[in-house]
Structures are given as C-alpha cells and as structure tokens.
Chain A
Amino acid sequence: MVKVIEQNLLTGETTEREQTAAEKTQTAKDKTEAEAQGEAQIAKLAARQAVLDKLGLTADEAAALLG
C-alpha cells in the first residue's frame, strides 16, 4: 500500500494518506513504462555487443572505425 505524505510548509502540519485510485493507476503505468524502457536499453546494448563480437572488435575499435 503506497502512502502519500503531505506537508504544509506554512503551518508545519503533516498528513498521510493512501494514493487515490487515479494516482495508483498512474504509478503502475509509470513503473511499467520505466521497466520496459530499462529492458529495451539492456537489449540495445546486448545487440550492439553481439555485433561487435561477430566482427571481433572492441568498443574502442568500433568507435575509431566510425570516426
């Protein structure tokens, strides 16, 4: 259960509440997107490394080749 802590900086009052339904939905959506993005980045790096391995080049050599 995700809690939201709200602080009124003028009065110093702090309250704690559960996320609203809309906030829960958005948080889950943001998490899914962030995880998919991370996986895509890992897949992209793996694909790049596979090509380098196939060519027998290091990352530095590939960078030098591409100028």
Chain B
Amino acid sequence: MAIQTFTAAQVLTAAQMNALQANDYNQTVSTKTASYTLVAADKGTRVVMNSASATTITVNTSLFSAGDTLFLQNISTGVCTVTAGTATVSTAGSLAIPQNGSGILYFTSAGVSIFYPSAGAATANALTLVTATSTANTGGTVTSSGGRVTVAGSSSVSLNGVFTSTYHNYLVLLDTIESAASGPNQFNLRLRAAGSDTTSSTYYAGQIYGTYAGATGGSANNGVAQFPLLTLTNAKQQMAKIEVFSPQAATITTIDSLGVAFDAQSNYAGYQSGATQYDGFTLFMGASNFSGNITVYAYQKS
C-alpha cells in the first residue's frame, strides 16, 4: 500500500492500519517488465524489475522528499540500470542491478538521491556484466539475452554503449566463434564512438602465434585500419579473450587478446593512437561471415 495522507478528525480504519502495517512487515511490491520511470506513489515500496532484456529505472526530481526511500530489485536476466532523469543519482558502487541484485534509493532532497547497491559487493577484481545499449549488424542475425549477444552469419557486428565513464577497463569474451568460409579468415576489431568506427591507419600491434603442428611466428601491424585479432576457420569452438584498457579516456586505447583458433593459438597486443573516447566496438571479417557469442564485462575501478 502506498503511503496515505490522513487529515484531522479522519477515522483510521482497521483495514488501513493493517495495510500500512503490512507494508512494514511485507513491503508493497510493484513488478515492472519494461523500463520504468519512478512516480511519487512508489515511495516506501519495493519496485521489482522482471525483464530478460536490459532495462532502466529513471529517477526524476520533485516526486520525493528528503528522507524518502525505495527498494529496487531485479529478479530477471536483463541488467537494470538506475538512471538519472531530472534528478541526480550518486553511488559509491554500481548503478547496474544484476539478476538477483537489489539496492536502496535514498533521497537527500527532492532532486538529489543516492543509490546504495546491496548486491554483488564490489571487490578489487570483481567483474560487472555490461549490456550494450544497441547493436548494428550487416547480414545475418543478432540477438541479445541477458547481456550476451549472439551473432549468426554476419560480416560485421557493432556493440554500442558498452564503454562508459563508470569503469576504466573491460573484458570482451568471444566464444564458439567460427567463420562461414573455410579460411583461414582474418577476424578484426575496430573501436567505435557515437555509432561510427575509427577506420584511420592508427592501430599498432604485434602478434605471436604457435600452431598445434609446432610452427611458430609473428606479425606486425604498424599503422593499420583495425586490430586483426586472429584468423578463424569454419571449425567450431574457437574463442578470444580481449581486454580493452581505458577506452573512455581521452588518450590512446590499448588492448591485449588471447585467441584460440582451430589449429593455432595467438597472443595479440597493441594500441590505437587516437584520443577518442570510445563507447563501443565493431567485430568484422572482410571476406566472410561469422557466428558466435559476445559478452562484455567491466573491471571494477577499485
């Protein structure tokens, strides 16, 4: 039951008293299945998010007063992000509420709130699943569930809105990737900002590899238009683990990568020399399509 306003001489009924008492001992719940903007009646209640897709809870000003609290909870796979609308929302942790996570939103004034996340206590090396705000693909299909993006037969896939100022460094996992053509086919990564890839010859990197037949070697990329991470074939169970360092900082962005292909493994590391603040990346193949899964995690700042 939402908070009631009683006036002088009004009779407090047993039903009202019981309902108010019930909220103390078994909080009033409203379940949302899509992104939601808080309203004044949510004061003191529990807002439960239940969506397999990423959602937001938007916080606006002039709806709540100093001392008001709400309990926010997420019971499904889509990460819910507490988002400042016209009010401010501060936190010492993360504004992203993962599945089975929760937190208290506390107002210090009508337009200023603090979110106290109670789930997933942050530790120095903790990872937070990051959900892209949007994707763009050329050919094939792309689906997203619970932050995991699945690609089927696309020559290019972009993830937008994965790098933010909330974190410094990121981990990108590509699993079960394969190319349509037998190959080997070069599999590339480009950094991306505001929906556009950086395609200038500003990527510098080195690669060392070893084949399972015993051959070893290396290659250099001294100012190319992408990071050529690894070569893929049409065999299944290839993967890559990519770390991206400081993509949101206005300085060079560095990466390292471990790739496991059908007949070889490779280590790749380098940097992109621009000072662009990137918010996403594109994976692509020049002369084939690819399939696989992409998951992005952020390393906690401290």
Contacts and interface: CB of A to CB of B under 8 A. Distances in A.
Given A4-B136, A26-B197, A41-B184, A9 B286 contact: no
Given A4-B136, A9-B53, A34 B287 contact: yes
Contacts of A34: 185-186, 285-288
A9 B214 contact: no
A10 interface: yes
Contact size class for B?
Answer: 20 to 34
B230 interface: no
B131 to A, nearest CB: 6
For A8, A30, A33, A63, the residue with the greatest tally of chain B CB atoms inside 10 Å of its CB is: A30
Contact of A5 (B133, B142, B188, B225): B142
Nearest to B83: A10
B287 A6 contact: no
Contacts of A32: 286
A47 B197 CA distance: 37
Interface of B: 35, 53-56, 131-139, 141-142, 144, 155-156, 184-186, 188, 197, 199, 214-215, 225-226, 284-288
Interface of A: 2-12, 19, 26-27, 29-35, 37-38, 41, 63
